[in-house]
Each structure stands twice: as structure tokens, then as C-alpha cells.
Structure 1
Amino acid sequence: MYKTIIIKKGQAVDTRFNLKDGAGSDAVHTTPIYAYAVCKLSTDTNLEGIGLAFTLGAGNKLVCDAIDYLVRHIEGMEINSLMANFGETYKMMADDPNLRWLGPHKGVVHLALAAVVNACFDLWAKSKEVPLWKLLIDLSPEALANTLDFSYYEDILPKEEAIALLIAQQQGKQNREKILEIGYPGYDTSIGWFNYSDDKVADNIKKAMDNGFTAMKLKVGAKDAGRDIRRAALVRKIAGDKATIMFDANQQWNLPQAIAICKELRELDPFWIEEPTHPDDVQAHVKLASTVDVKLALGEHVPNKMVFKNFIQSGCMSFNQVDAVRVGGVSEFILISLLSKKYNIPVVPHVGDMGQIHQHLVLYNHVSVGHPALLLEHIPHLREHFKFPVRIENSRYQTPQEPGMSSDLLYY
């Protein structure tokens, strides 16, 4: 029998962090302010649920205002009772008639939903005194499915099929749990921010390699494509032929530009090219994938399960970068992950949370869903602000042991 824990109040906290010396910059977001719209759930105990949504500055306030509205759906509820059939409450929040016109299921309101949903999962794990990865792995397929909203997925992944998929993956689960001991492999995203000089990129590659990283990513998308090609060749030369390298254009190119530049970058044998054009343009990505023999990583700016549904079925997505602090939190992340598994597309999340939450989710994905343990992005810029920051040893995420989803900040 569990101890009852009542959500007394939910409130938003606007938290922002200035970055220095070009960190975090890309071809579109040239002067980013990393920010979290935090949802804090106070209870009738000393436990708090902390959920995050990621933004890049002034928009954070708008997301916080939406959080303060959405939390009324869960205030007064007991956390274990809430999570026993959370899919219904999720749908109620996502389809709130006073806010749905602003989306539906995208933009400010959906980011706020992510923060609220993540806070619920954090509190649920804390109530059971376990880290989120263990809570999720220990759930039965039926209990896990009850936390998801399958609306509009009935034609492609109905609830019964999702349960069957999870049951099928129980074979081999014990063997996959070895990842909990050795840690999940990471890749270094911070070697090549857009505003970094060539010299700084070169130094960062060497530092990353000294820290055990054999996979790393460079920001591209300059107005002068020659700059991209030169810097990409620099990464390959210093990292070596055996290194895993990726290039991220952050949506900067139109389709003709993407085709032309991807053909040149392909010669450097990239593991993937990320966000080559507008994130909503499924057909452009299909055309690119059919024209250039290069793998595409997509999903950082894909806002919801419906757009992911289209991308996953389109055949153009080689790697799924769904992010639990952009889509509707852990619940929608898992639903998208299950559909991605059905189509054999590996999930390699974007980490707007700096990897704090996703270190739990990739463990769940591997152990329970059967996704391959490929890579998890590592961005260290906000490490000092978390109560339990991610731990990286020899480029591998070490399995977190503290209760919750590692989203607690040192101050709010």
C-alpha cells in the first residue's frame, strides 16, 4: 500500500541562464538565453514534483503563464491515483477548450503541458523513492500504457498493440539491463557551436577526445556554405576517420540549399545531418532523403505526436530526436518512442533538459522498448544549476540513483 500524497498547488517559476562566449549558438539562434519554464508541484508532504520545459528567452514568461492555468487540472489529486490512468488526464489538459485554439498541441500551451506532465512523473517517482528510469522499467506494459493518450493513434498504434509491443520486448530485457551498470554512451554537442572560431572548435575536439568522446557534433548553416564545408572537414581531420561526427543545420537551409550542401557534407561520412530544413516540411525531407544518400536526424523542433506520426511513416527519418521538454512531456515522448520502435527508427533525443531527464528515458527505451543504445547528446552548460547533475565518465552517462527525474534545480 502506497502512502497518499496530495498535490496541493502547482505553480510556474521563470528560470533563465545567460550563456557566455558563444555557447549554445546555432545558425538560427545566434544569442540564446537558456531558460526553463518550471512547474513546481507542492504536496501535503515534504516532496515536490519538478517539471521542465525548455525555451530560449523572453517566451519563457508566456509558457509560465500557461503552466499556471493548466495545473488546475491536477491540483487536489493524489499522485498515485492520478498516474494510474494518467492518459485520460493528459488528454483533458491537452484538449482544454479554453486553450486548444492556440495550438492544438503545439507552441506555448504544449510546452506548458510538458512542464506539468514532467512534474507529475517526477513526483510519482519520488513518491516511490526510485529514479524515474526504474519506475518506468518496473511498470507492467498495461500500467505504462495507461499513462499515454492514444487519441489519433488508433489507426497506427492502438493501445492494445502498444501493450503487445512491450510484452514482446520483455524477452531479452534482463540482458539489456546491463546498460545500467556500464552507463549510456554520450556524444559531445559542445565542440562546435556556431559562433565558435575555428581554433576554438579544434581545441574543443581535442578536449572531447581526451575525455573519451568518440562522437561529436558541429553546428552548420552559415550563409557562406564554404565555411560549413571547411569546418566540417576540420572536425573530420582532427577527430579521425573512425570518429562518429554529425552536422546540425538548425533548419537554416531551403530544400535546394539542403540538397547541394548535404551532397558535399556526405563526402565526410557523417553519422547524420540534423534539421536540414524547416521542421514542419515533411515533403521537403522526403525529397532530400530520396535525392542525397545521407541519414537525417529530425525531431528537435517537431512539436507533437501528430507531426512525428507523419515523419515516422514518411521514410525520411533515420534518427528520431524527440525531446520530452518540447513535446507534451514524458507521456508523449514514450508514445512517440513506441511508434518509432514499430518502424525501427532509433530514438536519439535532443536534450533541451541538458540530459537530466533524458538519461532516464533512454535507459527505459533500451531496456523496456528494445531501442538500440546508440547515443545521448551531452551539453554541460547548466550543470552547476542542478541539484543532481548528470555524471559522465569516459563519455558515458552514469545511471542516476536519486529518486525522481533529476530535474531539481538548486534554486528557483
Structure 2
Amino acid sequence: MAALPLEPTDHPYYRNTKVTSLSVTDVRYPTSLFADGSDAMHTDPDYSCAYVVLQTDHPDGHEGHGLTFTLGKGTNVVIAAVNALEHLVVDRNVHGIFANFAAFYRTISSESQIRWIGPEKGALHLATAAVLNALWDLWAKLEGKPLWKLIVDLQPEQIISAIDFRYIRDALTENEALTILREGQTGKQDRVREMEKNGYPAYSTSCGWLGYESDLLRKKLRTFIRAGWTRFKVKVGGSLDDDIRRLTIVREEIGYDKLLMVDANQKWDVPEAISWMQQLARFKPLWIEEPTSPDDVLGHAAVAKALAPLGIGVATGEQCANRVIFKQLLQASAISYCQIDTCRLGSINEILAVLLMACKFGVPVCPHAGGVGLCELAQHMAFIDYIVISKSLDNRVLEYVEHLHEHFAAPVTMKEQNYVPPTAPGYLVGMLPSSIAKYQFPNGPVWKDLMQHKAKPV
């Protein structure tokens, strides 16, 4: 479907702006020292990212900042993949990219030789997300809008022009997507005002990391309850006895009037997931997240079918590689909650496809966040989904974790446990230069000190 022309408005040099260079930096935070982020499969994660900056020849010096989230080791592999994509971006005219973003998405995700080590999955797709995130950030800055507002203000045909429908037309056609988006124009401004007034509902994962001792778990829960939080997620999958002990503590602290979700981070095979969750059903979780391999569509469907009589839904998506996996999960009725990840999928281009498919199949989207910059990124997806696609907040909630926001120039803003729509231009994952310098791996002072004192294996 042809794109509507994206004419320059307040930016007289917009049409002639080119990307002049790409740089990528390995930034790592030693979160494993405190068990922050720990779960059944990732017991000692160091929250990290491959941080991309696209410089341009725009007279106002606009840059695009993007990242993809990692857990420490392996970030160097993603950085190598980013560098392998550099030639596809540098010297490109940005107006040409944005005018038909789907074509550029296919160019960067299907380069003839590089595609072989994907396609559209693994380290290569993480790298693709980082580069595309930076491009979307640049576009929003050129338009002087936060990313969510940029997309909300686009015409339906323009949004469609950013999506590669290859491989998903058996689940969602361009015309079906266009119908959803046109319907989303009705009442759009009312929903914008609602979000600006009330924000988007959030839940906290900050209390429930698997490595937290009992006293710290209670302390965290009480702190968040005093702050008014009513929705919580807890990691499970270490051992059944320990899960029962920890969830007993959680329900003692939050009661049964507050919302609880649990997350196994792919720990189990299918029979184990079913039997384990049957034992945890007494704690009334809303969902079990990632009960098994993220690639196992039929396995998720079996778990969903077995747990439905217990009132437990299945959520997954943070490690689903691409729109094709999501297509199959939705077609197979394998998930009750669709969890997109802004760094796992091929940025907004692919996320929009999943949002639209989820809307067609009637499955609520609850984006995965946390990590480094994921809250800053995911908030835009929640606003876009509500304002112009699903038009519903039923059974929708956005993940929140409290750490690492201080490293960003425009961190998320919360109001009464809701995400407040950002107003600054861009995708808003621009890191403070001081944080990049301090936590750059391996030469930043934090890592030099840790390695000198052998506080961390490297």
C-alpha cells in the first residue's frame, strides 16, 4: 500500500537530511551484585545495552538515539551485528526512509548475505531493533513530538506504510489493518486527553526478583504498598517449595484484593509448567508468563488450555523473536496476554504489526518493560495501542521497574502508579553522557574498579 507523502513542515532541511555516521557503545550496569533482575533462567544478569547514535547533517544537529537490551555477556556480539548493518543506514536520506518505512525495514532485515544469520531473530534482530529505534527517535525529534504522539498523529495509511506484511497476511491483511486504524480515529483526541490526565496503568516487578531474600521481599512489598501500588509480578521457577514460600509471603503482604502475576522466564517444559502452576493456583495469579520456550507455540497452547479452568491466563512475548511467532501464538489461542518487547522485535515497524494482529484476535497487549530503557520505550507502545488501535484499557497493564531511570535524560514519569505520557521530542532513550562514560564496558571506571577488585567475573 502506497504511503501518503510526508511533507516537511517546520523543518526546512528535513528533505535533505542524511545520516552521516553510526556509533555503538557497550553500556553495562552491574545489577547482579544486588540480585536485581534475577529470575529462574537469568540468575545473575547485568542489565546492559548496545547503545546506538545516528548523527546527521541537519543544521540543528539532530541525532537519533536507540538501544537494544541485553544481560551483560553477549553485548559485544550484538554490537558486531549493529556494525554489520551500518552500511545500510549511513548516507541514507531520512525523508526517503520515513516516506516508505516498510521498504527500509525489509532492506535492513533482509540484506542478502547478513540475513542468513537471522532471519529476523537472534542477535541480528536485536541489532536491527537498536538501529530502527534510533531512526524512529530521529523522526520524532525532526517533527518535535514524543514518539507516541508522532504515530498517533499519522494518518492510517502512513502507519500502514511502516509495516512489512510479508508472512502475516494469512492473519492480517493491509485492508484489515487499515480498517482497525480508521476506526481508531474516532474518539482519538478524547483518549489522548484521558492519558494526559490519568496515565496508563502499571504493575511493579521491582519487588519480585527471584534472588531477593524473604526480608527484602517483605520490605519491598511494604514500600510499594505504602506508595499505593496494587498490581505486582513475582518471579517463579527456582523450586516449587521456594515458590510456595515466597508467594505465601506475597499474599500475606498484599492480600487477595490486589493483582498478582507470576513469571517463569521459560524455565519449564510443557508438562512441568502445567503441574507446577496447578500447585501455585491457590495464590490466584492472573497469568503465568513465559511458562516454556518462547518458540513453542503449541506448547503454550497446551499450557493455556490446561490452566484456563483454574482462571490462570498465559502471557508471553519478551523473547518472541518476530511477528511470525506472535501470529502463530494468536492463531493457536496460545496466549491470553500479548507481551511485546521494544528491543526484541524489529522496533516499531514490527511492533505495529503485532499490535494490530492482537487487536484483530481480541488479545490485550501488556508490553514487557524493565531492563535498561525498556520502560522508557514501552510506554510509547502502550499509548499507541490504546489511542489508535485497541481503544481499550480492559485487562491491559504496563510493566514498571524502579531501577536505572536516573541514567536517562528524559526518564519515565509516574503518577499514582500510572505512566504519564512524555512530552519531550523523541523515543526518549537518550542516555546521560556521564552515565555512558561511567558504565561503558570494559573501560568505564565502574568496570575497571570491579575487575581490579575481582568483584565480578569477566
Alignment partner of 1:44 is 2:64: no
Alignment partner of 1:93 is 2:115: no
Task: State the Cα distance separating 1:371 from its structure 2 match.
Answer: 4.8
Residue 316 of structure 1 corresponds to 334
Residues 258-295 of structure 1, C-alpha deviations (whole Å, 9 max, x = no match): 11111122222111111111111111111111112220
CA RMSD in angstroms comes to 1.3
Provide the aligned length of Structure 1 versus Structure 2: 411
Residue 21 of structure 2 corresponds to 9
Residue 296 of structure 1 corresponds to 314
Task: State the Cα distance separating 1:101 from its structure 2 match.
Answer: 1.3
Residues 354-398 of structure 1, C-alpha deviations (whole Å, 9 max, x = no match): 310111111111001125332111112211111111111221112
Residue 427 of structure 2 corresponds to 405
Residue 333 of structure 1 corresponds to 351
Task: State the Cα distance separating 1:334 from its structure 2 match.
Answer: 1.1
Q: Using the alignment, how far apart are the partners of 2:255 and 2:412 within structure 1?
A: 28
Q: Using the alignment, how far apart are the partners of 2:391 and 2:185 within structure 1?
A: 12
Alignment partner of 1:392 is 2:418: no
Residue 182 of structure 1 corresponds to 198
Runs of at least 5 residues in structure 2 that lack an aligned partner in the other structure: 1-7, 437-458
Q: Is the partner of 2:298 in helix, strand or coil?
A: helix
Task: State the Cα distance separating 1:174 from its structure 2 match.
Answer: 3.0
Residues 38-73 of structure 1, C-alpha deviations (whole Å, 9 max, x = no match): 121001131110111111112111111111121321
Residue 446 of structure 2 corresponds to none
Q: Quote the sequence identity (%).
A: 37
Within a 5 Å distance, the mapping from 1:47-126 to structure 2 comes to: 47-126=62-141
Q: Is the partner of 1:147 in helix, strand or coil?
A: coil
Task: State the Cα distance separating 1:308 from its structure 2 match.
Answer: 0.9
Q: Is the partner of 2:35 in helix, strand or coil?
A: coil
Q: Using the alignment, how far apart are the partners of 2:374 and 2:160 within structure 1?
A: 27
Q: Using the alignment, how far apart are the partners of 2:205 and 2:289 within structure 1?
A: 12
Residue 143 of structure 2 corresponds to 128
Runs of at least 5 residues in structure 1 that lack an aligned partner in the other structure: none
Residue 211 of structure 1 corresponds to 227
Residue 148 of structure 1 corresponds to 163
Q: Using the alignment, how far apart are the partners of 1:262 and 1:90 within structure 2?
A: 39
Alignment partner of 1:307 is 2:325: yes
Q: Rg bigger for which structure? A: 2
Tell me, yes or no, if the aligned pair for 2:367 and 2:381 is still in contact at 8 Å.
no
360, 365, 379: which one aligns with 2:380: 360
Task: State the Cα distance separating 1:169 from its structure 2 match.
Answer: 2.0
Alignment partner of 1:377 is 2:395: no
**What TM-score, normalized to structure 1?**
0.97
Tell me, yes or no, if the aligned pair for 1:391 and 1:398 is still in contact at 8 Å.
yes
Q: Using the alignment, how far apart are the partners of 2:171 and 2:297 within structure 1?
A: 18
Residues 196-247 of structure 1, C-alpha deviations (whole Å, 9 max, x = no match): 011111111111111221001111001x201101211221221111101111
Q: Using the alignment, how far apart are the partners of 1:185 and 1:310 within structure 2?
A: 28
Q: Name segments (4+ residues, structure 1) moved above 3 Å.
A: none
Amino acid corresponding to residue 268 of structure 1 in structure 2? F
Residues 321-355 of structure 1, C-alpha deviations (whole Å, 9 max, x = no match): 11011111111111111101100111111114331
Amino acid corresponding to residue 141 of structure 2 in structure 1? K
Q: Using the alignment, how far apart are the partners of 2:173 and 2:191 within structure 1?
A: 26
